[in-house]
Chains A and B, each alone.
Chain A
Amino acid sequence: MAHRTVTVISCLFLVGLLLGPLMFLIHFSGLSMSLTSSDMAAIEFTFIQAAYSATLSTVLAIPVAKALQRQKFWGKQFVVLFLGAPFILPVIVAVLGLILVFGNNGLINNFLGFFGFDPLKIYGFWGVILAHVFFNLPLAIRIILQGLNDVPGEKYRLILSLKLSFTQKFFVLDWPVLKKVCPSIWAVIFAICLSSFAVALTLGGGPKATTVELAIYQSFFYDLDFAKAAQLALVQVFLVFSVVVASQFIIRPETVLGLNIKTSNYSHSSFEKALDFLIIIVTLFFILTPILAIFLFGFAGIFSLPTAVFKAASLSVQIAILSSLMSVFFGLCLTTKIGEVVGSLGIAVSPIVMGAGTFLMLKNFGNPYLLAIPVTAIVNALISLPFVIRILKPPAEEIRIEFNNLSRAIGLTGIYWIWWVYLPMLKRPIGFSLGLAAALSMGDLGVIVLFGSGEIATLPLKIYQLMGAYRLDEALASALLLSLLAFGSFAVFDRIGRFL
Chain B
Amino acid sequence: MIRFDDVIIKIGDFQLNANMTIPKGFIAVIGQSGAGKSTLLSSLSGHQDIDSGKILINDTRIDQLPPNQRPCSVIFQEFNLFPHLSIAQNLNLVCGNHFFVSEGARKKIQEVLEKVGIGELIDRLPSQMSGGQQSRAALARVLLQKNPILLLDEPFSALGPNQKSELIELVYSLTKDQGVTVLLITHDPKDAEQVADHCIVVKDKEALGPFETLEALREDGPLTGYL
Contact residues of A with B, CB < 8 Å?
402-403, 405-406, 408-413, 416, 419-421, 424-425
A251 to B172, CA, bound (A): 57
A406 to B126, CA, bound (A): 15
Contact residues of B with A, CB < 8 Å?
45-47, 66-69, 73-74, 76, 79-80, 82, 84-85, 89, 93-94, 97, 99, 141, 145
By the criterion CB–CB under 8 Å, are B79 and A406 in contact?
yes
Contacting residues, chain B, for A409 (C-beta < 8 A): 45, 47, 67-68, 73-74, 76
By the criterion CB–CB under 8 Å, are B67 and A420 in contact?
no
Would you give 23 A-B contacts (Cβ < 8 Å), ordered by A? A405-B47, A405-B74, A405-B76, A405-B79, A406-B76, A406-B79, A408-B47, A408-B66, A408-B67, A408-B68, A409-B68, A409-B74, A410-B68, A411-B68, A411-B69, A412-B93, A420-B82, A420-B85, A420-B89, A420-B93, A424-B84, A425-B82, A425-B84
Contacting residues, chain A, for B80 (C-beta < 8 A): 406
Instruction: Name the residue of chain A whose CB is nearest to the CB of B81.
Output: A406
**Least distance between B78 CB and chain A CB atoms (Å):** 8
Please tell me which one of the listed residues A403, A412, A420 contacts residue B79 in the complex, with CB atoms under 8 A apart: A403
A413 to B93, CA, bound (A): 11
A133 to B82, CA, bound (A): 45
**Least distance between A403 CB and chain B CB atoms (Å):** 6
A419 to B73, CA, bound (A): 23
Please tell me which one of the listed residues A403, A410, A419, A421 contacts residue B94 in the complex, with CB atoms under 8 A apart: A410
Q: Which of A403, A406, A411, A421 has the most CB of B within 10 A?
A: A406
A424 to B47, CA, bound (A): 25
Contacting residues, chain A, for B45 (C-beta < 8 A): 409
A403 to B47, CA, bound (A): 12
Instruction: Name the residue of chain B whose CB is nearest to the CB of A401.
Output: B79
Interface of A is mostly: helix
Instruction: Name the residue of chain A whose CB is nearest to the CB of B42.
Output: A405
Contacting residues, chain A, for B145 (C-beta < 8 A): 410
**Least distance between A172 CB and chain B CB atoms (Å):** 39
By the criterion CB–CB under 8 Å, are A416 and B84 in contact?
no
Interface of B is mostly: loop
**Least distance between A417 CB and chain B CB atoms (Å):** 9
By the criterion CB–CB under 8 Å, are A408 and B79 in contact?
no
A110 to B3, CA, bound (A): 89
Please tell me which one of the listed residues A405, A406, A412, A425 contacts residue B97 in the complex, with CB atoms under 8 A apart: A412
**Least distance between A459 CB and chain B CB atoms (Å):** 37
A434 to B165, CA, bound (A): 48
A408 to B74, CA, bound (A): 10
Instruction: Name the residue of chain A whose CB is nearest to the CB of B73.
Output: A409
A419 to B145, CA, bound (A): 21
Known: A403-B82, A411-B67. 19 other contacts (CB 8 A): A402-B79, A403-B79, A405-B76, A406-B76, A406-B82, A408-B47, A408-B66, A408-B67, A409-B45, A409-B67, A410-B94, A410-B145, A411-B68, A413-B68, A416-B93, A416-B99, A420-B85, A420-B93, A425-B84
By the criterion CB–CB under 8 Å, are A411 and B97 in contact?
yes
A424 to B99, CA, bound (A): 13
A246 to B76, CA, bound (A): 45
Contacting residues, chain B, for A412 (C-beta < 8 A): 93, 97
By the criterion CB–CB under 8 Å, are A410 and B93 in contact?
yes
**Least distance between A412 CB and chain B CB atoms (Å):** 5
By the criterion CB–CB under 8 Å, are B82 and A421 in contact?
yes
Q: Closest 3 A-B residue pairs measured CB to CB?
A: A411-B68, A408-B67, A416-B97
A460 to B224, CA, bound (A): 78
**Least distance between A432 CB and chain B CB atoms (Å):** 17
Instruction: Name the residue of chain A whose CB is nearest to the CB of B138.
Output: A406
Contacting residues, chain B, for A403 (C-beta < 8 A): 79, 82
Contacting residues, chain A, for B93 (C-beta < 8 A): 410, 412, 416, 420
A406 to B153, CA, bound (A): 12
A405 to B99, CA, bound (A): 21
Instruction: Name the residue of chain A whose CB is nearest to the CB of B66.
Output: A408
A184 to B79, CA, bound (A): 37
Q: Which of A402, A409, A425 has the most CB of B within 10 A?
A: A409
Contacting residues, chain B, for A424 (C-beta < 8 A): 84-85
**Least distance between B79 CB and chain A CB atoms (Å):** 5
A412 to B93, CA, bound (A): 7
A410 to B97, CA, bound (A): 10
**Least distance between B158 CB and chain A CB atoms (Å):** 16
Instruction: Name the residue of chain A whose CB is nearest to the CB of B151.
Output: A409
Contacting residues, chain B, for A419 (C-beta < 8 A): 99
A419 to B100, CA, bound (A): 10
Instruction: Name the residue of chain A whose CB is nearest to the CB of B97.
Output: A416
Contacting residues, chain A, for B67 (C-beta < 8 A): 408-409, 411
Contacting residues, chain B, for A425 (C-beta < 8 A): 82, 84
A169 to B223, CA, bound (A): 57
Contacting residues, chain A, for B85 (C-beta < 8 A): 420, 424
A412 to B68, CA, bound (A): 8
**Least distance between A263 CB and chain B CB atoms (Å):** 33
Q: Which of A402, A405, A416, A424 has the most CB of B within 10 A?
A: A405
By the criterion CB–CB under 8 Å, are B89 and A410 in contact?
no
Instruction: Name the residue of chain B whose CB is nearest to the CB of A399.
Output: B82
A425 to B145, CA, bound (A): 24
Q: Which of B85, B89, B97, B141 has the most CB of A within 10 A?
A: B97
Contacting residues, chain B, for A406 (C-beta < 8 A): 76, 79-80, 82
Q: Which of B68, B80, B89, B99 has the most CB of A within 10 A?
A: B68
Contacting residues, chain A, for B66 (C-beta < 8 A): 408, 411
Instruction: Name the residue of chain B whose CB is nearest to the CB of A421.
Output: B82
Q: Which of B73, B76, B93, B99 has the most CB of A within 10 A?
A: B93
Instruction: Name the residue of chain B whose CB is nearest to the CB of A412.
Output: B93
Contacting residues, chain B, for A411 (C-beta < 8 A): 66-69, 97
A412 to B92, CA, bound (A): 11
Contacting residues, chain B, for A408 (C-beta < 8 A): 46-47, 66-68
Contacting residues, chain A, for B141 (C-beta < 8 A): 410
**Least distance between A425 CB and chain B CB atoms (Å):** 6
Instruction: Name the residue of chain A whose CB is nearest to the CB of B96.
Output: A416
Contacting residues, chain A, for B69 (C-beta < 8 A): 411
A411 to B147, CA, bound (A): 13
Contacting residues, chain A, for B99 (C-beta < 8 A): 416, 419
